[in-house]
Structure 1
Amino acid sequence: MRREWEDEFAAWARSRQGALLRAAVLLTGDEASAQDLVQGALIKVADRWGRLREERPDAYARRIMYHDAVSVWRRHGRVEPRAEVPDRPVGDASEGWVAGADVRQALMTLTPKQRAVLVLRYYEDLPEAEIADALGVGVGTVKSQAHVALRRLREAMGRAGATPSGGGPGGL
Structure 2
Amino acid sequence: MLRRRARRAPEAYTGAADPGDPLDADQERRVRAVLALGGVPQADLPDGVQQVRLRLLERAASGREAPRDVSAWAAVVASRLAVDWHRARRRQERLGERLAALRRPELPSGEDDSLLSLAVARGLDELTDAQRQVLVLRFYADLPVRSIADELGVPEGTVKSRLHTAVRALRARLHEDEVV
TM-score normalised by the chain length of structure 2: 0.41
Larger Rg: 2
Higher relative contact order (CA 8 A, sep 6+): 1
